[in-house]
Amino acid sequence: MRGDFLSRLPLAQSAVDYDVERRSEEGLIDRLLDDPVTRVMLVHEGLVAVSKQAAGRVPVALDCVADPAAPRPDAEPPAETMTLALLAARDLRDAARCRGCLFIYLGIDRACAPAVPYLALDITRALDAQLQGGMGADSELDAQQPPLFQRLLAAYEWVELRSFAPCASVRDAGLATSAVAVSMWHHSQRYCPACGSPVRPALAGWAQTCTNPEDADRLLFPRIEPAVITSIIDGRERIVLQHNTAWRDRFYSVSAGFVEAGESLEHAVRREAMEEVGIPLGEVHYLGSQAWPFPSSVMLGFTARAVSDEIRVDHEEVAAARWFSRDELARAVETGEVMLPGRASIARHLIEHWYGGPLG
Ligand SMILES: [Zn+2]
């Protein structure tokens, strides 16, 4: 059952070999850009580029809220599968010399002949530099290239990962998840946490090094914030769903929260259940995980048995919580009394895992 659960998580997909051993090769990005087979996907401010041919069918980027675990409505699904805009690497050869360009080597698809290497190009900072009129340009090229990133921005539709992944192929969902997660980290960490000097990308985008010569050996890796999320089931096979004060009206989801420093995952599951719905837990089982790069989490999904069905909420973080049988939840979703988290979320999959199929 676990494999089945994982196979449906939109942000836990992968069809390419990460090809980790090549990341440390000197000049790898340049060589991949010269390779006519290499394909490049684009990222801008955490959004991924899809073809404009899908215009009108592309789900609108949904408004973001401060709490990354907050349930969000599903975007209007597109009429057909969404595909990443994939550019020939050689068309972007010059971009590699522009200030602010971030390339990430995502890996290689060995199922193709010849095998296809994939890069991500994050244009966010390069575009900012260009819009500032090339001031402080590192090279003549910056001044000669002004329209490039504006052209790229205008040429594609830009879609949020949460809207894209549930409608994408396994390959595209995996590429987009890696690209967004790694690029979000580069945006959030621009200075060395040890000495405060600026950092530069290393290991084909998967790490950073410090630019301070005295600290040049320091390799910096992304900090991932683990969060646990748990479907709590009672002895009558009901699930408890909660509505938090910060959430939109009628949204209900399962218990979730960040793992604290020095805490085990299982302890975090039990602590969050007590804090949020006042329910002590019996058996706790791990089901699966997926990246949640909004901006830097991984969500670890559990299911647990409630020892008591008595609910106690604090009315500060959690406004209400209630038990649902399968029939009750199906009816509540159908009538619109209850809205569930979007299809990209592990919360939705935990609820549907308990329900035994798709809901709504
Ligand atoms: Zn440093």
Give the pLDDT of residue 171.
Answer: 96
Q: Quote the ligand 1 centre to 60 CA distance (angstroms).
A: 40
User: Each residue of 257-315: pLDDT tens digit?
Assistant: 999 999 999 999 999 999 999 999 999 999 999 999 998 999 999 999 999 999 999 99
Average pLDDT, the chain: 89
3 state SS of 91: helix
Distance 250 CA to ligand 1 centre (A): 47
Find the mean pLDDT for residues 102-122. 96
- Which pTM value belongs to this model? 0.90
Cα 102 to ligand 1 centre (Å): 20
Distance 209 CA to ligand 1 centre (A): 8
Cα 211 to ligand 1 centre (Å) = 7
Please state the rounded mean pLDDT for residues 208-235.
95
Rounded Cα gap, residues 160 and 59, in angstroms? 9
The residues, ordered by sequence, that sit 6+ positions from 56 with a Cβ below 8 Å of its Cβ are none
Q: What percent of the chain has pLDDT over 70?
A: 88
Give, in order, the Cα–Cα distances in Å from 31 to each of 22, 93, 149, 252, 281. 12, 10, 22, 49, 54
Residue 36: the pLDDT is 95
pLDDT greater than 70 at residue 80: no
pLDDT at 136: 43
pLDDT at 356 over 90: yes
Taking the alpha carbons at both ends of the chain, their separation in whole angstroms is 22
Q: What is the residue whose two structure tokens read 């010399």?
A: 97
Whole-number Å distance between alpha carbons of 75 and 131: 31
CA of 275 to the centre of ligand 1 (A): 39
Please give the pLDDT value at position 69: 60
**Lowest-confidence range among 8-17, 87-96, 330-339?**
87-96
Hey, where are the domains in the chain?
10-188, 190-223, 225-355
pLDDT band of 64, cuts 50, 70, 90: very low
Q: Pick the residue with more confidence: 142 or 135?
A: 142
**225-355: which CATH topology?**
Nucleoside Triphosphate Pyrophosphohydrolase (3.90.79)
Q: Is the pLDDT of residue 146 over 60?
A: no
Which whole number is the average pLDDT over 317-330? 97
Give residue 32 CA to ligand 1 midpoint distance, Å. Answer: 29
Ligand 1 centroid–CA 198 distance in Å is: 8
| Helix (H/G/I), strand (E/B), else coil: 160 | strand
Lowest mean pLDDT among 132-136, 176-180, 240-244, 332-336: 132-136
